[in-house]
């Protein structure tokens, strides 16, 4: 059994600069996570073993980031009953539009909750994971409320007109 509530998986080391925003957001909320590289096409056996064993390992939510022909979130979702949130990583060739369409267009029956391309998507995947966990964890519910209140307080009523 793992102690971590959330698994963050990604297709490549090159996805980490995006996926670290999911990790940092979970850490800010005090949510345990385990980050791993699991490639659907380079390490298919690792992907299969991870996804088949994720629930028994104690994970409650999976965040999966991938770029290009981004089949990792969908393949993972097909192998586990856990909720899977997909993060389209910004690709070099098509700026992540390929990743987005690959992840979001799941045929009916196997859902992947698909987020925005890049940093915003990774951050929001963590916040959605937190919202799921908060349903049965008051500490996380409070942390999420505090996070949102902090962001509300950070919005000034008037613009700084000296700013560029």
Stretch that binds ligand RP5, among 66-74, 80-88, 104-112, 146-154 (CB under 6 A): 66-74
* 142 contributes a contact to ligand RP5 by CB under 6 A: no
Nearest to 12 by CA among 60, 69, 59: 69
Q: Applying CB under 6 A, which of residues 5, 7, 8, 11 lies at the interface with ligand RP5?
A: 11
Q: What angle do CA 101, 105, 111 make, to 5 degrees?
A: 130
Stretch that binds ligand RP5, among 10-18, 25-33, 131-139, 140-148 (CB under 6 A): 10-18
Q: How many CA atoms lie within 13 A of 148 on its CB side?
A: 10
Q: How many CA atoms lie within 13 A of 43 on its CB side?
A: 15
> In the complex, what is the shortest distance from the CB of residue 40 to ligand RP5, in angstroms, rounded to a whole number?
7
CB nearer to ligand RP5: give 29 or 47: 47
Stretch that binds ligand RP5, among 23-31, 60-68, 108-116, 149-157 (CB under 6 A): 60-68
CB nearer to ligand RP5: give 47 or 134: 47
Q: What is the DSSP letter of 107?
A: P
Largest interatomic CA distance in the chain: 56
* 43 contributes a contact to ligand RP5 by CB under 6 A: no
* 14 contributes a contact to ligand RP5 by CB under 6 A: yes
The residue written with tokens 């910004």 in the block is 90
Q: CA-CA distance, 24 to 95, in Å (whole number)?
A: 23
State yes or no: 49 annotated in a binding site: no
Q: CA-CA distance, 20 to 87, in Å (whole number)?
A: 12
Binding site for ligand RP5 (CB under 6 A): 11-12, 14-15, 39, 66-68, 89
* Annotated binding residues: 12, 15, 42
């Amino acid at each position: 059994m793992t102690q971590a509530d959330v698994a963050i998986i990604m297709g490549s080391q090159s996805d980490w600069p995006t996926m670290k925003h999911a990790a940092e957001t979970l850490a800010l909320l005090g949510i345990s996570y385990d980050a791993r590289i699991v490639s659907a096409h380079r390490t298919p056996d690792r992907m299969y073993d991870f996804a088949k064993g994720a629930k028994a390992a104690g994970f409650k939510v999976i965040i999966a980031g991938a770029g290009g022909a981004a089949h990792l979130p969908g393949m993972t979702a097909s192998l586990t009953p856990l909720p899977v949130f997909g993060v389209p990583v910004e690709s070099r060739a098509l700026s992540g539009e390929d990743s987005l369409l690959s992840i979001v267009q799941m045929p009916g029956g196997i859902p992947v909750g698909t987020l925005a391309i890049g940093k915003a998507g990774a951050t929001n995947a963590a916040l959605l994971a937190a919202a799921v966990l908060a349903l049965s964890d008051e500490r996380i519910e409070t942390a999420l409320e505090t996070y949102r209140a902090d962001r509300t307080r950070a919005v000034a009523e008037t613009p700084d007109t000296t700013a560029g």
